[in-house]
Every structure is written in structure tokens, then in C-alpha cells.
Structure 1
């Protein structure tokens, strides 16, 4: 059985997924709200995050996210750090990134074929952050699960999960939503093939 590609994103109510973890995580575009997730500690949502991370056996990351992770997680221990430092890390980049983090390698130029090859080697491949890479995976439907942790805050700017001009797509809810006491909500979707359909709800019977 082929492995599954999971996209994991923390996002605001207005769809911003940029720099949830800290002020200097990603300041692209002069983004002033880095660390917006921090004011929402939530044991219920935290458990869903750990449940996903603890079961992954490979990471697939974009260049920027890889550099952020590689500069932080190798110096940490226990929990998430133990998982991230142990599993293979695959980097999608057209450049020549420095891959000093143990277990890291760069994907080849045939991206779709490389992703399918990962499915043959691993059971649970997770993409975390990596906004540009996520757009490619969504457009090509090279994923199995899209997990969104949505937090009750609106920022009005920043990199979005679904920016203007993204590929139209259908999704199906894979399981009931989970809501934490902070007001954060977990939603987990799978892709549905086919064109987005429209109708007319004002039409008379």
C-alpha cells in the first residue's frame, strides 16, 4: 500500500499561514505578526498536533521552511525534536540548498515522480509550512490529506493557504471537526477529483 502525503498548516480565520511560531520565523513582505499562534495555548488542539507528528516517518519541506527547521530543531531534544531529527527530510528546491541537517536530501527535478517515489518508501510523509510547495501539491493534487488548524484571529496580510489565483479544487471532510477551548478548530480534508461545479440557488423549481 502506497504511503500518504499529509499537508499540515496552521492558519488564521482569513487564511494566513505565514510564521505562526515566532517573530523572526518568516518576515517576507515585512510581515509584522510572526508568532500569532502563541497566544492560543490549547491542550485539545495540541494533542491533535502531536498525534500527527508522532506518527510521521518522513518530512517533505520547501527550501525556506527547511532552513528555518534546520536552524532550530537540531538544537532541541525530546518530543517533536526527537521525531524531526530522526526521520528523513526531503527538500523541494530548484537551487542548491545546504543540507547540513542529518538525514536530509534534495528531490530531483521531476517533482511528481519524486513525490510518488516517496510514497513507495514511507507510510506517512508530512509537509509542514512550506507555502510555495503546498501550492504545487494542491494544484497537482499530489496529496492525500490537508489538515488545517484554524485559529480565531484575523491578520489581513501574509502568505495564504489559498491565495488569489490558486487552482480551483474540490475537497471532502475526512472526519468530524475538533474544537479546542481556545476557539481553534481542526479540519481534515481529502482531495476530490473533477472540476468545481456551480449552480443557481435562485432558480425557481
Structure 2
């Protein structure tokens, strides 16, 4: 069965809205679109590319799909070559006209649709797509979570865990790596069960 991996850039206080640019997602008057740019470095770029080894499908929310479809088809080499080659799946409640080659829309039953994708692909990546990711968190419909946490605090903006999640265990599966500009990569696997509790006074 294939793995669904979520890849997100976030600030230290959990804001993941519009890391790439001012026009990416200005919803609710968000004033810090493009916050990642001053802190992006070659180390993060290398981490991102190495994490995509083996990727054979993209799963995106509608807004992220529109951004990607307006950019990657016009680029060459590297990530562009990969994104343009593999299938792209879009989660949206609205009927969409998908012009990027290899794109299709998920059916209304997300759970059933994701099971079909798991049967077809080995490594499915969800990049950005913050609104859609809330559904994956709430339903535990993911296997890996990679966060690049940046050393800034923004206060307002859409958060990684905006709508809360069900109690979930995660396991760190790679050493934590910090880039020269302070971004910290953390990669986790979903683990069965719910978080345990104890009494620290007994230790």
C-alpha cells in the first residue's frame, strides 16, 4: 500500500500560510506572504529535493494546484521535470477544469479516493495545500509528515493544525537537520495508538 506524505513549511508559531509569495494566499489580509524567501537556503533546497526521491504522484488542494499549474509547466529540469511527468490529483468540492497534463480531480468520497491512490502509487506527496491538509489530519489519512520550521513568529495566519487533530502518535524517522539560516527539518511517521500519559512525580 502506498504512503501519503505531507510536506509543509511553517513558522515557529505554526503559521503555514503563503510561504512562497505575496499573492499565494492573501486571505484575511495576511500581510506576510513570502515569509520563507529571506530564510530559504541551499540546504533547504537540497532537503526538499532529496525528500522527493521516489515520488510518483502529487495530491494537492485546489489553491496549491492553481499555483503549481501556473508555474511548473513552464519550467525545465529538476523538480519541474518530475512534477510535469507524474500524475497530479486535486481535492476540491467544485468541478474543475484541469489543464495541466496528467491532472485529475478526486471524487467526493475522499477516504475511498485515497485508498484508490494508495493502491496505484507508492509515494504520494501533499505539498502545501493547507486547507486540504486539515482533512488529512482530522481523519489520520497520512503516513508521513515533514515540517520545515523557520525561526520567525508571525502571530496571525493559517496554522498547520488550524482545526485541531485527533490524538495521534508520531515517530521521528530521520535526524533533525538545521539549515544555515535556521530552518529545522523534522520528518515523522504516523504510529498506531493514542498518546500515553504518566505521572512525572513518580519518576
Are residues 192 and 104 of structure 1, via their aligned partners in 2, closer, same or farther at CA, if it must alter by over 3 Å?
Answer: same
Query: Partners in 1 of 2:12 and 2:81 — Cα distance?
Result: 31
Query: Partners in 2 of 1:44 and 1:149 — Cα distance?
Result: 11
1:118 deviates by 0.8
Query: Partners in 2 of 1:139 and 1:193 — Cα distance?
Result: 15
1:66 equivalent in structure 2: 65
Runs (5+) with no aligned partner, structure 1: none
| Superposed CA RMSD | 1.5
1:162 deviates by 1.2
Query: Partners in 1 of 2:40 and 2:70 — Cα distance?
Result: 24
In the TM superposition, what are the counterparts of 1:46-85 in structure 2 within 5 Å?
46-85=45-84
Runs (5+) with no aligned partner, structure 2: none
Query: Partners in 2 of 1:156 and 1:83 — Cα distance?
Result: 35
**Alignment partner of 1:155: what SS?**
coil
Query: Partners in 1 of 2:97 and 2:33 — Cα distance?
Result: 25
1:196 equivalent in structure 2: 195
| Cα shift readout 1:76-125 (whole Å, capped 9, x = no counterpart) | 22222111111100011111122111110011122112111111111110
TM-score using structure 1 length: 0.93
1:4 equivalent in structure 2: 3
In the TM superposition, what are the counterparts of 1:29-40 in structure 2 within 5 Å?
29-40=28-39
Query: Partners in 2 of 1:187 and 1:196 — Cα distance?
Result: 19
